Amino acid sequence: MSKNKTEGGITYPTGFRATGLYSGVKKNGNPDMALIVSDADCVAAGVFTTNQVKAPAVRLSQRRVRGKGLRAIVVNSGNANACNGEQGERDALSISEKLSLHLGCDTKKILLASTGVIGRPLDMEKIVAALPRLVATATREGYEDCARGIMTTDTKSKSAQAEGLVEGRTVRVGGIAKGVGMIHPQMATLLVFLTTDAAVEKEALRMILSQASDRTFNALTVDGDTSTNDTAIILANGQAGNLPVAKNRESFRELFSLVLSVCESLRDQLVRDGEGVTKVIRIIVGGARTKNDARKVAQSISRSLLVKTAFFGEDVNWGRIMVAIGNSGVRVYEERIDIFMGEVALVHRGVGLGALQEEKALEVMKKKEITLRVMLGIGPMEAEYWTTDLSVDYVKINAGYKGRT
Amino acid sequence: MSKNKTEGGITYPTGFRATGLYSGVKKNGNPDMALIVSDADCVAAGVFTTNQVKAPAVRLSQRRVRGKGLRAIVVNSGNANACNGEQGERDALSISEKLSLHLGCDTKKILLASTGVIGRPLDMEKIVAALPRLVATATREGYEDCARGIMTTDTKSKSAQAEGLVEGRTVRVGGIAKGVGMIHPQMATLLVFLTTDAAVEKEALRMILSQASDRTFNALTVDGDTSTNDTAIILANGQAGNLPVAKNRESFRELFSLVLSVCESLRDQLVRDGEGVTKVIRIIVGGARTKNDARKVAQSISRSLLVKTAFFGEDVNWGRIMVAIGNSGVRVYEERIDIFMGEVALVHRGVGLGALQEEKALEVMKKKEITLRVMLGIGPMEAEYWTTDLSVDYVKINAGYKGRT
């Protein structure tokens, strides 16, 4: 175990190496492959797309993540290898088989992820040729290259790290993510990879990843409204030497809070890098009967094209917010609804508070980060959701996406 | 009953008069009120928004439409009179009360509809002042003025009519509609008013309107995803002198087909006038286990921003269609899915058919009206859905809507 001063990201925890490079798949010459390797066998957990159309990489990782002694994650970007039939299945298998030879480990210890255009066969020649280079260049310093290697239309790489005590031992968590255009209700791929040197039991790790995802990445994209390739994986290699984290131990909460803080940082970076995003909107819905009700109302607001374009246009059109609340499928009472833009009260008991308040709200809407708060006046529960405005650039970017990879 | 040569629209059936005029509500000086009057008492039926936030006009019409002897529909555009609290309720009631004095009929015989901005009190002075003018100018020739009086951001007025035999008597059906930006998943108001001189039993009329709406207007907007003001009303004044149409009679089908043809024409006019629309896409999903499954898949495709922007960009990105199919919530099998763009096969059994087919499909996508066909390969059922592309202009229009009324 080297004790070098790693700055962060996916190799921040002890015992992980990483890299990213250009294999020749992307037309624009940007890095299009990445590798994360652990020096020691890992416990792993994963959260995968709920889309019924799944890329072979997802199906393969979904199976393998249940196994033991995982060692590496290999990612290719620019081509999702989805909807490629049996050829796609064979190619995914072949990548991990060939990589396992270079890594000198069992092929089942390798997880895969892909992101990019759907329905194009992988250029296997280029990808296979890049595998030995990936293995050769994976270092503790490679975290930034790795973060770049998984990007598609992202304008910035996304890394985060955290360090803290778990049962008295210093534990580190690192992570990278990619995904713009993944802001609900869109469906471009979200990839998240996390590493930790904590020792942790498999079931505890699964719960930690699942709960942290729910509070961050799943509050951006709706369950069931995901791409063919969405993947979040965490590898834990136990190198910190702590007593293994388990469900019923205090250490569960300690490790969870470290993982959550990394996920929150990645969530913030993702939302700020949304395609054509000019504004980030944090939607808080309170006063709901249940948390699920609050969440549904927040989702409905975040989904509304009319709300999203109004934010882009800095138009204090709270009627559109009322419409979205009324369409959420949750029982609401118009005459109990309050709406706040930032700290400015806009609607009280279902009725607008007038031009002066709207002028104040307009000042809030001119900012780049806006908190919209809706109080339903029914119960005690609250949920938070993140969305963005819908801009002219969003349409321009997505109207010509395929030609740009 | 005059026998003048009416050209069409809402006054095409015998015994109806109509008008539209400028009351002073809209800033741009366009007509903002409309009136439809029947000389004789009518049987009526209505279909209303499923949004829980409902304008007073909707609640009022929803109650009154169940009554007997209806005579008139009064509409104001430019102001939805929604989310105005008790003031809004009083104003809606007051309009119908004052209009009833001018018409010389019971106030309960008057139906109301409103469309426009939410959360602004009605300018009652101007609206009340316009009422006697509305009554004075309502004529058989006023159908076009009436169609204009209900418009908001529509660029064209929308009228249709049909004539046919019902139990051997000539029966006429007329209609007008407004609503751009109502193309799913948006939520601007859809208003549809239909008239017929057929004699028809109330329950039969209700079924006819409900079934015709399901096959036309509800295949544009999703159930539950509607504005505060959506309204479709049909008035039947019995002046054709036919034996009243009833559920179990052959005449039911005769009248239904006339109403349907008017609704289909209005649907076509609506979809072509969508905000910033450059392309109209007819989505046919076949091979489904149930009609509802087919409908859900078609809805999911029509909802996808990535699909809609790909149509705008003329990008043969069928992967986005596969993603939307996989996200529909309906059980599908990737390896059974076929996709056709027009007549061009793009995907067979879940796999793309290659560059040559994509080139041919591109030619189809360059057209203004495109049929996208998806075959699920599971069962015999089919559904049709209409949507549009998502254009740069859509965002521009909706980002500044409120200032433009």
Note whether B262 and B305 are same-domain residues: no
CA distances to A149, A223, A271, A368, B272 from A282, rounded to whole Å, are 29, 18, 10, 11, 35
- Predicted ipTM of the assembly: 0.84
Does any domain span residue B1?
no
Q: Say if residues A74 and A150 touch (Cβ distance below 8 Å).
A: no
Helices B250-272 and B202-215: angle between axes, nearest 10 degrees = 40
* Region at B354 (left for phi over 0; alpha for psi -120 to 50; beta for the rest): left
Whether A366 has its CB under 8 Å from any CB of chain B: the answer is: no
Note whether A114 and A153 are same-domain residues: yes
User: CA of B7 to nearest chain A CA: how many angstroms apart?
Assistant: 37
| Cα–Cα distance measured from residue A50 to residue B174, given in angstroms and rounded to the nearest whole number | 47
| Between B5 and B321, the higher pLDDT residue | B321
Whether A390 has its CB under 8 Å from any CB of chain B: the answer is: yes
End-to-end Cα spacing for chain A: 39
User: CA of A311 to nearest chain B CA: how many angstroms apart?
Assistant: 7
Note whether A184 and A299 are same-domain residues: no
Sheet-wide strand order for B369-375: B351-352, B344-348, B338-341, B369-375, B280-288, B381-388
Note whether A259 and A295 are same-domain residues: no
CA distances to A192, A318, A333, B26, B272 from B404, rounded to whole Å, are 43, 16, 30, 9, 21
Does any domain span residue B371?
yes
Mean pLDDT (whole number) for A314-326: 92
Mean pLDDT (whole number) for A339-351: 97
Per residue in B285-335, pLDDT (tens digit) is: 999 999 999 999 998 998 888 888 899 999 998 999 999 999 899 999 999
DSSP symbols for A196-216: E---B-HHHHHHHHHHHHHHT
| Cα–Cα distance measured from residue B394 to residue A384, given in angstroms and rounded to the nearest whole number | 28
* Region at B288 (left for phi over 0; alpha for psi -120 to 50; beta for the rest): beta
Name which of A120, A395, A404, A405 to mutate to probe chain B: the one with the most chain B Cβ atoms within 10 A of its Cβ.
A395
Domain span including residue A332? 280-388
Mean pLDDT (whole number) for B84-99: 97
B-chain CB neighbours of A80 within 8 Å are 319
Q: Say if residues B187 and A323 touch (Cβ distance below 8 Å).
A: yes
Q: Is the pLDDT of residue B186 over 60?
A: no
A-chain CB neighbours of B79 within 8 Å are none
Whether B392 has its CB under 8 Å from any CB of chain A: the answer is: yes
Residue spans of beta strands (DSSP E) within B152-190: 158-166, 169-178
Q: Say if residues B371 and B282 touch (Cβ distance below 8 Å).
A: yes
Q: Say if residues B44 and B234 touch (Cβ distance below 8 Å).
A: yes
Verify whether the Cβ–Cβ distance B187 to A306 is below 8 Å: yes
Question: What is residue A404's predicted lDDT score, i.e. its pLDDT?
Answer: 37
Verify whether the Cβ–Cβ distance B306 to A349 is below 8 Å: no
B-chain CB neighbours of A89 within 8 Å are none
User: Which residues are within 8 A (CB) of A43 and not within 5 positions of it... i.e. 6 or more apart?
Assistant: A68, A70, A200, A201, A202, A205, A235, A236, A238
Note whether B258 and B284 are same-domain residues: no
Which among B309, B331, B347 is the nearest to A399, CB-wise? B309
User: CA of B176 to nearest chain A CA: how many angstroms apart?
Assistant: 24
Q: For residue B329, what is the nearest residue in chain A, using CA coordinates?
A: A224
Q: Say if residues B55 and B232 touch (Cβ distance below 8 Å).
A: no
Mean pLDDT (whole number) for B225-236: 90
Looking at the DSSP assignment, which residues form a beta bridge with residue A75? A34, A113
Does any domain span residue B397?
no
| Cα–Cα distance measured from residue B298 to residue B295, given in angstroms and rounded to the nearest whole number | 5
Question: What is residue B127's predicted lDDT score, i.e. its pLDDT?
Answer: 98
Whether B188 has its CB under 8 Å from any CB of chain A: the answer is: yes
Cis peptide before B31 (omega within 30 of 0): no
* Domain count along chain B: 2
Note whether B149 and B285 are same-domain residues: no
Closest C-alpha among B28, B45, B7, B31 to residue B236? B45
Average pLDDT in chain B: 91
B-chain CB neighbours of A305 within 8 Å are 185-186, 305, 398
Per residue in A112-159, pLDDT (tens digit) is: 999 998 999 999 999 999 999 999 999 999 999 999 999 988 889 999
Q: Say if residues B301 and B184 touch (Cβ distance below 8 Å).
A: no
Note whether A294 and A209 are same-domain residues: no
The residue from A272, A298, A323 where one domain ends is: A272
Q: Say if residues B144 and B157 touch (Cβ distance below 8 Å).
A: yes
Residues within 8 A of B (CB atoms), A 204-263 only:
224-228
Coil vs helix vs strand at B45: strand
Which among B53, B303, B335 is the nearest to A322, CB-wise? B53
User: Which residues are within 8 A (CB) of B46 and not within 5 positions of it... i.e. 6 or more apart?
Assistant: B61, B62, B65, B111, B209, B231, B232, B233, B234
| Cα–Cα distance measured from residue B94 to residue B115, given in angstroms and rounded to the nearest whole number | 17
Whether B350 has its CB under 8 Å from any CB of chain A: the answer is: yes
Does any domain span residue A62?
yes
Coil vs helix vs strand at A285: strand
Cis peptide before A56 (omega within 30 of 0): no
Question: What is residue A226's predicted lDDT score, i.e. its pLDDT?
Answer: 78
Note whether B316 and B244 are same-domain residues: no
| Cα–Cα distance measured from residue B221 to residue B233, given in angstroms and rounded to the nearest whole number | 17
B-chain CB neighbours of A79 within 8 Å are none
| Cα–Cα distance measured from residue A267 to residue A274, given in angstroms and rounded to the nearest whole number | 11
Mean pLDDT (whole number) for A334-340: 97
| Between A217 and A382, the higher pLDDT residue | A382
Question: What is residue B221's predicted lDDT score, i.e. its pLDDT?
Answer: 62
Whether B53 has its CB under 8 Å from any CB of chain A: the answer is: yes
Q: pLDDT band for position B223 (50/70/90)?
A: very low
Residues within 8 A of A (CB atoms), B 297-336 only:
303-306, 309-310, 312-313, 315-320, 322-327, 329, 331-332, 334-335
Whether B349 has its CB under 8 Å from any CB of chain A: the answer is: yes
Retrieve residue A10's tokens.
Answer: 């996916």
Verify whether the Cβ–Cβ distance A186 to B306 is below 8 Å: yes
Verify whether the Cβ–Cβ distance B399 to A317 is below 8 Å: no
Q: For residue A87, what is the nearest residue in chain B, using CA coordinates?
A: B351
Q: For residue B224, what is the nearest residue in chain A, using CA coordinates?
A: A327
Closest C-alpha among B85, B80, B74, B72 to residue B26? B80
Q: Is the pLDDT of residue B181 over 60?
A: no
Number of other CB atoms surrounding residue B164 within 10 Å: 15
Note whether B293 and B215 are same-domain residues: no
Question: What is residue A304's predicted lDDT score, i.e. its pLDDT?
Answer: 84
Question: What is residue A278's predicted lDDT score, i.e. its pLDDT?
Answer: 86
Per residue in A256-305, pLDDT (tens digit) is: 999 999 999 999 898 888 767 888 899 999 999 999 999 999 989 988 88
Per residue in A238-263, pLDDT (tens digit) is: 999 999 999 999 999 999 999 999 99
Does any domain span residue A394?
no
Does any domain span residue B393?
no
Q: Is the pLDDT of residue B243 over 50?
A: yes
Retrieve residue A310's tokens.
Answer: 């109004």
B-chain CB neighbours of A303 within 8 Å are 185
Does any domain span residue B395?
no
Q: Which run of H or of E encompasses A374?
A: strand A369-375
To the query of whether residue B189 is one of the catalytic residues in this protein, the response is: yes
The residue from B240, B256, B272 where one domain ends is: B272
Task: Give me the torsion for CA of B290, B294, B296, B297, rounded to 10°.
Answer: 140
DSSP symbols for B116-139: EESS----HHHHHHHHHHHHHH-B
Verify whether the Cβ–Cβ distance B118 to A228 is below 8 Å: no
- Active-site hit among A19, A189, A196, A405: A189
Question: What is residue B188's predicted lDDT score, i.e. its pLDDT?
Answer: 66
Does any domain span residue A69?
yes
Whether A278 has its CB under 8 Å from any CB of chain B: the answer is: no
Note whether B77 and B171 are same-domain residues: yes
Looking at the DSSP assignment, which residues form a beta bridge with residue A370? A281
Q: Does pTM surpass 0.80?
A: yes
Closest C-alpha among A44, A41, A21, A42 to residue A33? A21
Q: Which long-range contacts (CB under 8 A, 24 or more apart) does B362-369 make?
A: B362/B314, B362/B316, B365/B279, B365/B311, B365/B314, B365/B315, B365/B316, B365/B341, B366/B314, B367/B279, B367/B342, B368/B278, B368/B279, B368/B280, B369/B279, B369/B280, B369/B281, B369/B282
Q: Is the pLDDT of residue B100 over 70?
A: yes
**Domain at B342, CATH number:** 3.10.20.340
Per residue in B362-400, pLDDT (tens digit) is: 999 999 999 999 999 999 999 998 888 888 887 777 776
Whether B114 has its CB under 8 Å from any CB of chain A: the answer is: no
Question: What is residue A184's predicted lDDT score, i.e. its pLDDT?
Answer: 47
- Active-site hit among B189, B216, B221, B387: B189
Q: Is the pLDDT of residue B135 over 70?
A: yes
Which among B225, B304, B399 is the nearest to A309, CB-wise? B399
User: CA of B169 to nearest chain A CA: how many angstroms apart?
Assistant: 43
Q: Say if residues A199 and A77 touch (Cβ distance below 8 Å).
A: no
**Domain at B93, CATH number:** 3.60.70.12
Retrieve residue A355's tokens.
Answer: 């031009």
Pinpoint the alpha helices (H) of B331-399.
Answer: 355-365, 392-399
Note whether A242 and A351 are same-domain residues: no
Which among A82, A120, A315 is the nearest to B402, CB-wise? A315
Q: Provide φ and ψ at A14, rounded to 5°.
A: -60, 140
Mean pLDDT (whole number) for A87-95: 98
Number of other CB atoms surrounding residue B288 within 10 Å: 25
Note whether B285 and B266 are same-domain residues: no
B367-404 b/e with 16+ CB inside 10 Å = b?
Answer: eeebbbbbbbbbeebbbbbbbbbbbbebbbbbbbbbee
Closest C-alpha among A157, A128, A283 to residue A220? A283
Amino acid in the structure at residue A271: V
Average pLDDT in chain A: 91
User: Which residues are within 8 A (CB) of A367 and not within 5 positions of it... i.e. 6 or more apart?
Assistant: A279, A342
Whether B277 has its CB under 8 Å from any CB of chain A: the answer is: no
| Cα–Cα distance measured from residue A222 to residue A162, given in angstroms and rounded to the nearest whole number | 27
